């Protein structure tokens, strides 16, 4: 086999001005510009690999070193694969699950309707459109103002009806006691989970919140800020979460994510990945399909986040049909961006940013 040598590595700061329309706004990030540190690796055989790390803008400036070590795990070339699909389950079961995914896809939920900065009028319009498109699971950003949260959760629940699923997300805004009190006030709107109720590093705090909210039938979801498998191990051992939210960019490489999928299966906790941002949906679809086909074989309380922003900038964008992720057909990890988009949105010299200066 001919040895391939890396001969070039380029890193670019690519940013999208999403703050202009409040896309992505939540209790902690009021004006995010969705961005990536985007890496392309070239070999002497003419092959290329692609990698990215998502940030909300300013974080890209401190992400270069992390991304240089991170991007190799996010190989985007045709030789990149998820390994043998029969890793955990038998071959017959695996093929049956694969066939089901090819026909039906993996269930998704939407966060696009209820960013914190959206007006009630826009929220209503987006909810109506989403329901007409077949969406049945909706997430609402909360955490900045309780009265505002009560109004918005009431509005969303009224819009989607009692039969559809509602989740809420505080983006780390509260301390432990405040989280319990605040979510108790929102319990009448029947959220399936409260996401990131407190500091993502506070494992025992999450355990206390989980215990307090269990009688209300509300689970705790977290994980998008967990940076290694050891944190997930401790969250699972402490019964501190009821929904595991892996993030395809936060954890370094595919292998680290697979370790978390296996632990979640051992503890019988459903995996509901975090996605959105720039490219996160494109990447994480591979991981959640692997989880269903080769590990869990279950769709009970399982869904993958979808945010309908910025997919047009990727060579192989996600395909959503009837609120389901359809399995990607192209080889690689779906993280190759269109060169025209990269050039236009490169910060600060790209055309888009020059116009805004």
What does each C-alpha distance from 225 to 148, 178, 202, 232, 248 come to in angstroms?
Answer: 26, 20, 11, 10, 11
Residue 141 is among the residues annotated as catalytic for this protein: yes
Cα 81 to Cα 207: distance, rounded to the nearest angstrom: 36
Percentages (nearest 5) of helix, strand, coil residues in the chain: 40, 20, 40
Q: Which of 55, 43, 76, 60 is nearest to 335 (CA)?
A: 76
305 with 108: CB under 8 angstroms?
Answer: yes
Q: Which of 23, 70, 274, 309 is catalytic?
A: 274
Q: What is the dihedral of CA 305, 310, 314, 319, to 10 degrees?
A: 40
Residue 274 is among the residues annotated as catalytic for this protein: yes
53 Ramachandran zone, left/alpha/beta (phi>0; psi -120 to 50): beta
By CB atoms closer than 10 A (0-12, 13-18, 19+), residue 340 is: exposed
Q: How many other C-beta atoms are found inside a 10 Å radius of the C-beta of residue 7?
A: 10
Both structure tokens of 276 = 């959105």
160-181 b/e with 16+ CB inside 10 Å = b? beeeebbbbbbbbbbebeebbe
Both structure tokens of 37 = 């540190």
Q: Which of 141, 206, 309, 324 is catalytic?
A: 141
Q: Is the dihedral of CA 300, 275, 222, 163 positive or negative?
A: negative
Both structure tokens of 228 = 């290694």
Active site positions, annotated = 141, 274
């Amino acid at each position: 086999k001919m040895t391939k040598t890396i001969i070039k590595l380029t890193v670019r700061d690519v940013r999208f001005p999403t703050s202009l329309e409040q896309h992505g706004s939540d209790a902690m990030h009021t004006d995010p510009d969705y961005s990536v540190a985007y890496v392309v690796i070239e070999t002497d055989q003419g092959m290329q690999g692609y990698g990215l790390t998502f940030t909300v803008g300013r974080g890209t400036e401190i992400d270069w070193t992390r991304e240089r070590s991170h991007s190799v795990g996010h190989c985007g070339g045709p030789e990149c694969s998820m390994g043998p699909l029969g890793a955990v389950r038998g071959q017959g079961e695996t093929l049956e699950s694969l066939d089901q995914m090819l026909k039906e896809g993996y269930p998704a939920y939407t966060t696009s309707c209820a960013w914190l900065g959206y007006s009630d009028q826009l929220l209503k319009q987006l909810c109506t459109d989403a329901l007409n498109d077949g969406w049945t699971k909706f997430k609402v950003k909360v955490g900045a103002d309780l009265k505002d949260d009560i109004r918005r959760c009431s509005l969303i629940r009224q819009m989607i009806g009692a039969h559809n699923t509602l989740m809420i997300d505080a983006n780390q805004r509260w301390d432990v006691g405040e989280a319990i009190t605040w979510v108790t006030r929102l319990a009448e709107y029947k959220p399936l989970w409260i996401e990131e109720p407190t500091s993502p590093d506070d494992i025992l705090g999450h355990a206390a919140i989980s215990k307090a909210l269990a009688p209300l039938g509300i689970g705790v979801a977290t994980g998008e800020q967990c940076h290694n498998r050891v944190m997930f191990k401790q969250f699972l051992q402490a019964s501190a979460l009821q929904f595991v939210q892996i993030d395809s960019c936060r954890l370094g490489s595919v292998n680290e994510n697979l370790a978390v999928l296996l632990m979640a299966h051992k503890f019988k906790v459903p995996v509901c990945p975090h996605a959105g941002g720039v490219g996160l949906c494109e990447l994480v679809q591979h991981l959640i399909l692997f989880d269903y086909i080769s590990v869990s074989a279950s769709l009970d309380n399982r869904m993958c986040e979808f945010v309908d922003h910025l997919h047009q900038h990727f060579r192989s964008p996600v395909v959503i049909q009837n609120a389901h992720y359809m399995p990607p057909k192209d080889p690689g990890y779906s993280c190759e961006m269109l060169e025209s988009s990269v050039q236009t949105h490169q910060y600060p010299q790209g055309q888009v940013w020059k116009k805004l200066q």
